[in-house]
Structures are given as C-alpha cells and as structure tokens.
Amino acid sequence: MYSNEEYCDMILAYGEANKVSTVAQRIYARKYPRRTLPNHKTFRRLDQRLRDTGTFNGISRDRGRAIQRPPQRDERVLREIEWDPTTSIRRISARTQIAKTTVWKVLKNDNLKAYHFTPVQHLEEFDPQSRLQFCQMILRKHQEDRTFLKHLLFTDEATFTRDGVYNYHNAHTWSEVNPHAIRDDNFQRSFKVNVWCGMLGNILLGPYEMSYLDGETYLNFLQEDFEEMLDEHVPLLTRQNMTFMHDGAPAHYSTDVRNYLNLSYGQNWIGRGGPQPWPARSPDLTPMDFFLWGHLKDLVYERPVDSRDDLWQRIVQGCNKVRENSATIFPRVRENFVKRLRKCISENGDHFQHLL
C-alpha cells in the first residue's frame, strides 16, 4: 500500500510529532496532501515494527523464524473500521479477502473492541428542556426535604402477554449432541393482562388488573380500589405527605382525572397537565420503567405461560417476591433514580442511559 519512501516520511513525521500519532497524521497530511493519508495508528505501528524487526515490511532477518506482519493487511482492515465502525468481522473479511481470524487478531492487537448499542426512547425537539426542568424540580425538592422521595408515589401500567420477553440470543440448552430444541412462539390463541402497580417508599402497591384503560375506568380505579389500597397499606402520616406521580398516558390526561387529582392532592401530583408536569417520552426517569416492569417480567417469564390465569398468578407471585425484598431493593432504586436525575441534568435533558 505504501512505498519505502512513504514509510520513511511517516517515521519522520512521527518523530517531529514527538510520537503523538494523531499529530503525526496531521503533519503528514500537510506535507504530502496528494498522498493517501494513513490511519493515525499506522504511525505508531510502523515505529514499533521497525524497533521489533528492523524493517518496514515486518520480516525480521535477525531471528531464526521470520515474523510476518504485513503492513498492507493491517492498514486495509483498519481502514474498513474507519469507514464504517458498525461493520462486522465477516464483512471486513469478505471485502478484503483476509481470513476472519486474521481480521480479529488485527483488531485485537490494535486494542479495538466491539461495543453494543444502548436502546433509547426517541425524543422530540422540545423534550430535553422539559426533562431538564423535571429533573431539576425533583432534585430541588429532594434537597429541601430528604424524605421527599420516600413520599413520592410512582405509578404506571404495563401489559403482560402470552409471548412475553424471551432472549433467543442468550438462550441455549446443553447436550452432547444437538437436540434440535424448539420453543413455541406466535400462538394462534393469545391473551394479555393489563397491570397497574405503584411504588411508595418501601411499599409495593398492586398488582391491580385493569381490563381496559380509559379516562372513566382510570377515574373509577383512583376513587375506589386505589383508595382502598392506600387505607390498607399506607400509614396516614405518609399519605398526608404523599406526592402522586403518573406519566402522560391519554387516560391520565382526561379532564375528570385531572380534576380529581387537583381536588385530592392539590399541588402535590405530577403528570401531564398537572401542577408539576411529567416530561413526555421519559421511561428512563421513572423506577416503574427502568426497574419494576423489567424485573417483574423476568420473574414472570422464567418458563412458558400456559394460560391467562397462570399469567396472572405469576404476576401476583412476582410482586410478592419483590415485596419480600423491598426494604433492601427500593432504597437502591431511589439512589439510582437520583443518579439518573443528575446524569440527565449533566446532559441538558438529552439521552444519558449509555453513560450510566
């Protein structure tokens, strides 16, 4: 790929840059604008190759066995990565006609690793600003009153289906010979359960099955079943200092629901259209989404679900397991919540999950 003269010029540029490869690349580009610009790591590898073998081509003449390190091969592989960091070893091998094992060794020797993407909720133009204001408001209340988060009632609804969540990438079965194992999916007869839960201090409220979620059924739930849960499980002093929070689902935004919450909680409720607005498209900012539903579904779908009754019983059992350890788990969840608020603020309301 390069002549000996070009390799010499690279070494000179590397020395002029005091062995800083990125600076060497800029010096080389300025001096030789019409030449093919090498990857900045080529300068460091070329210097090391000369020290190890005494030659540009990587073949040592001073040892009993020749050490082959073709610079053209390494450069071709790294150039593919530079053009498309999301490419795969298989694609690089196909395009360069270099063995996959060799491609892997080149990448490893250059300290390159493959990292997974972090899935995030798409944000609209003005979402970061509302997320930022929400996080600042919660942290301000937390700093003014260290018991505030213990009196903040997080609520949400989730749907559990027959198929559930199953990770085929990580699932496997051990055997001396291939058992050709299968797992049923995409059932002809499906069913689902809509579930409401709440987290308050170290208390888990629910599960409560909601056959259908609209403004009227949600209001009836708040006025009747929800009030019964509070009477049964939440001390009066906690209720008097409680702040109610739900997201911006259409049922939560109905006029009757908002009027009821204004009457029952005054300024102490958070939601769409409330005195403290909930930031849209922010599942990363409520423990119901970043903790409870995922953890609960892991418990529910440990094995295939047989019937709708079986699904509901597993939801109840899963909630009981969470409830047994809530005194240990929930304080850590609140700490994680505060960490997320601060990280969201540091990112000006933008995505932050990939930085946790």
Query: With contact defined as beta carbons under 8 Å apart, do 66 and 59 qualify?
Result: yes
Q: Cα separations (Å) of 280 from 88, 130, 166, 244? A: 36, 8, 28, 17
Both 208 and 74 in one domain: the answer is no
Q: Identify the DSSP state of 147.
A: T
Both 93 and 160 in one domain: the answer is no
Cβ-based neighbours of 68, under 8 Å, separated by 6 or more: 58, 59
Give me the domain span that covers residue 81: 4-109
Domain assignment present for residue 216? The answer is yes
Q: Cα separations (Å) of 322 from 80, 151, 164, 292? A: 48, 19, 19, 9
pLDDT at 55: 79
Both 102 and 152 in one domain: the answer is no
Both 194 and 295 in one domain: the answer is yes
Both 208 and 349 in one domain: the answer is yes
Both 27 and 54 in one domain: the answer is yes
Both 97 and 159 in one domain: the answer is no
pLDDT at 63: 47
Number of domains in the chain: 2
Both 74 and 137 in one domain: the answer is no
pLDDT at 67: 46
Domain assignment present for residue 315? The answer is yes
List per-block mean pLDDT (blocks of 10 residues) for the chain, which spans 356 residues. 86 92 92 89 86 69 49 81 89 89 87 86 95 97 96 97 65 67 63 95 96 93 96 94 96 96 96 95 96 95 90 96 96 97 96 91
Domain assignment present for residue 119? The answer is no
What pTM, to 2 d.p., does this model score? 0.75
Q: Cα separations (Å) of 351 from 127, 133, 282, 288, 356? A: 10, 15, 10, 18, 11
Both 291 and 150 in one domain: the answer is yes
Q: Cα separations (Å) of 200 from 220, 259, 312, 339? A: 21, 23, 23, 18
